[in-house]
Structure formats: structure tokens, C-alpha cells
């Protein structure tokens, strides 16, 4: 596995933890609407960072299919 992919996965995990932590803090402060926006932002960042990994996975699967 390429080191770049491991770094990206670790960054994605970090974003997930930070977004969840921030959302929980804002929920505890009574700001549910802001919490949902933080969660949405975290999900969008994770999706954007995962696109290269998903592309490589799809290319690998296509290569494995006999054609």
C-alpha cells in the first residue's frame, strides 16, 4: 500500500474525530443547527479527500475483471 494513501486515511480519521468533537460541543451549548452544519462540513471534507482512494480502488477492480 502506498504511503500517500495511509496518510490520507489518517487525515480522514482525524477530520472525523475533530468534526464529531466540535459537533458534540455545539450540541451541548444548545446550538443544534450549527452542530449539523459542522457534521455536514466534515462529511464533505472526508468525501473530497477519499476521491483519489476510491478512484484507485475502482481502477483495481476494473483490472481484475476479465475482459
Rg, C-alpha atoms of the chain: 16
How far apart are the C-alpha atoms of 8 and 2, rounded to whole Å?
10
Q: What is the pLDDT of residue 21?
A: 97
Q: Nearest Cα to 46, choosing from 11, 7, 3, 4?
A: 11
CB burial of residue 48 (10 Å; 0-12, 13-18, 19+): exposed
pLDDT digits (tens, 9 = 90+) for 5-62: 899 999 999 999 999 999 999 999 999 999 999 999 999 999 999 999 999 999 999 9
Amino acid at each position: 500500500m502506498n504511503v500517500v494513501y495511509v496518510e490520507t486515511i489518517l487525515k480522514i480519521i482525524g477530520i472525523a474525530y475533530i468534526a464529531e468533537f466540535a459537533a458534540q460541543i455545539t450540541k451541548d451549548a444548545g446550538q443544534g443547527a450549527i452542530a449539523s452544519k459542522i457534521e455536514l462540513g466534515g462529511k464533505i471534507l472526508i468525501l473530497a479527500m477519499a476521491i483519489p482512494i476510491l478512484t484507485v480502488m475502482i481502477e483495481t477492480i476494473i483490472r481484475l475483471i476479465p475482459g
